[in-house]
Amino acid sequence: MAKPAASVPKAFGRARPVISGVRPVVDSGRYPAKGAIGEAVAVEADIFADGPDELQAEVRFRHENESRWQSARLTPVGNDRWRGEFPVLRTGRHRFYVRASIDHFGSWRRELAVRAGSGQSLAAELLVGADLIRRAAARAKGPDRRRLGALADGLAGADGLELAMSPELEELMNRHPDLKPAATSNTYPVEVERARARFSSWYELFPRSASPDPSRPGTLADVEARLPYVTRLGFDVLYLPPIHPIGITARKGPNGVSTARPDDPGCPWSIGGAAGGHTAVHPDLGTLADFDRLAAAAAAQGIEVALDLAFQCSPDHPWVVEHPDWFRRLPDGSIRTAENPPKRYEDVYPLDFETADWRRLWETLHGVVEFWIGHGVRIFRVDNPHTKPMRFWEWLLAIVRDDHPEVIMLAEAFTRPRVMEHLAKVGFSQSYTYFTWRNTACELEEYLTELTRTPMADFFRPNLWPNTPDILHEELQRGGRPAFVARLVLAGTMGASYGIYGPAFELLEHVPRHPGSEEYLDSDKYEVRHWDLDRPDSLAGLVTRVNAIRRQHPALQQDRTLRFHSVDNDRLLVYSKTACSIPGGTGWDDAILVAVNLDPDAVQVGTVRLDLTALQLGPVEKFAVHDLLTESRYHWAGPTNYIRLDPETVPAHIFHLERLEG
């Protein structure tokens, strides 16, 4: 018995192009790629077909709340790869797909030129072209329709070949292409956030260490009084570690010792006490009204207050009594404390997300976020999200974003790469990175290339920190001022988003708790510190300058165009960023070239070989490089140029490239 004829899927039809390798796509569209207001979403795909015909392709896009699709052209960039971009003008979920078809007019035009070049008769081919143009006229309206009709008629005349090859005809035909039959890709999501998710400068400080009076701890009012200082430094996000009541039971003493004195303030991440839990303010810091005033005062100066979101409890947290089943118990009935062997945190109880009461736990934690949103917080730094279930974060971030698309979440997850990546996929806006532990030129180039040039860049936004209250890298411990300068320049120019833990950073704090430790000696994680912000050796002036450069130069406000340039000295690192203000435009409106001496102990010299293609410069084009740190200016030409960096005087260049006439 003969087999019945197989039916042909409708999707096959007469469409000949093949579309594959679409970007930005995350896990085949399971998770959205990331976008931000103020940038275009770059789309790429491999597009090809059988035979020699020309192709035409476009990206179709819309906000999910809109019904009308818009389109933008894709252009070939070589090896069957096509690229284009579409603008995003509002936050929320967008969708896009790629569509491709045979360009019959382009194919005809190319073959016509070949026939003309070999002296063949063009009469029949001009009739074919006239028919293609008349079909385009039928698709057009108004003046375009009339002009296309006239051009179609004109092909029969003596100037037919000239008309066929005219830029006018090409432009008109491009405006009214024949896109059927077309092949289409799957439809993919892009989550678009506000601009600060893409470009932000963070400053971290402990409120209790903000007092100008050494005789007392700081308060939220003292933080408010310090806002002009943070503003002068040029930061737009002020991140506060937990401001909640701190437990007394098993409280840590100075340097994290397990025995605290009666007046030791404890660690802010040991959250909860008699005065309340995650929705309370530590009485020593002030009140909710004080926090509201701080947030309003910061906003008036262009700064957003970011709060720490640490879902854990001290033994004295109200939840321990109200919801005892939210904590994991040992066989003896005691609650297991937090551990990160060999470290032990006897003052912290982790939440048990496997509790039978998990729904109420999730809802309560969501309530914490909503509470602080109600008090004006729109940015959260999330403590150790990798120690909580991924599905919880996927649920929480989705529900918060649905109601508050302006909320930004930074993941503090120094953990395994795949875990960090998945947290970004499920919705975290930004993430801490391994930048702190990448210190050689090779390490930095390899890692930043991974973050900015591979498919990881479609969903993972890095936030680079040279230091945190938990991390004082050996490079800063031993490298002195030159190391601090180098790490500041690297973080502030390689990353569109970066942060410092201050005033420890600008005041060059570099002594570890003990040899081999990455923790600070006398850290204000465990005690009140008083900082002399007026010290003459402070890096505040340099921090201010770097942040001003970041604000003035769009090239530094995104990560997509980061490119590294070869140099014949592995103690030097050279890289660039460029920006074009017109989406889809050619050339650059802003170009920054950075050179950093990674050796804090010695002068380093080298010959740089610039990637002129990345800089969109000609092979012998002359250009000026203006050092934005020292105001020095040099004239360069071609790819090969000399640099010399002295760690004691000029450990880095931040060059603005300027084209020269003639």
DSSP 8-state assignment for residue 42: E
Rounded to the nearest angstrom, the gap between the alpha carbon of residue 375 and the centroid of all alpha carbons in its chain is: 26
Number of H helices, E strands in the chain: 15, 29
The Cα–Cα gap between 539 and 550 comes to 17
User: What is the dihedral sign for C-alpha 196, 428, 546, 237?
Assistant: positive
Q: Report residue 195 as tokens.
A: 């601009």
604 vs 319, 367, 495, 570, CA distance in Å? Answer: 57, 54, 24, 10
Long-range CB contact pairs, 649-652, < 8 A, 24+: 651/482, 651/485, 651/486, 651/489, 651/596, 651/597, 651/600, 652/485, 652/486, 652/489, 652/594, 652/595, 652/596, 652/597
Best CA proximity match to 579, nearest among 507, 502, 496: 496
The Cα–Cα gap between 598 and 584 comes to 36
Best CA proximity match to 192, nearest among 306, 87, 98: 87
484 vs 233, 494, 500, 513, CA distance in Å? Answer: 16, 15, 11, 19
Best CA proximity match to 550, nearest among 271, 196, 54: 196
**In the Cβ-directed half-sphere of 371, how many Cα atoms lie within 13 Å?**
15
The Cα–Cα gap between 93 and 35 comes to 9
Contact (CB, 8 A) for 637 and 612: no
> Residue 102: what residue type?
I
Contact (CB, 8 A) for 500 and 433: no
Contacts of 561 (CB under 8 A, 6+ apart): 555, 576, 577, 578, 579, 614
Best CA proximity match to 488, nearest among 478, 1, 246, 502: 502
The Cα–Cα gap between 498 and 487 comes to 11
Which entry of 103, 125, 193, 412 is annotated as an active-site residue?
412
Strands 312-313 and 497-501, by their bridges, are unpaired
Residue 325 catalytic? no
575, burial (CB in 10 Å: exposed 0-12, middle 13-18, buried 19+)? buried
* Helix segments in 190-287, DSSP class H: 220-233
The Cα–Cα gap between 464 and 583 comes to 26
Contact (CB, 8 A) for 225 and 212: yes
Q: Report residue 216 as tokens.
A: 């007392």
* Helix segments in 140-280, DSSP class H: 142-154, 160-164, 167-175, 220-233
Residue 412 catalytic? yes
Preceding omega of 24 cis (within 30 degrees of 0): yes
> Residue 652: what residue type?
A
Which entry of 383, 475, 524, 559 is annotated as an active-site residue?
383
Best CA proximity match to 499, nearest among 308, 309, 294, 237: 237
The Cα–Cα gap between 304 and 211 comes to 21
- The catalytic residue positions are 383, 412
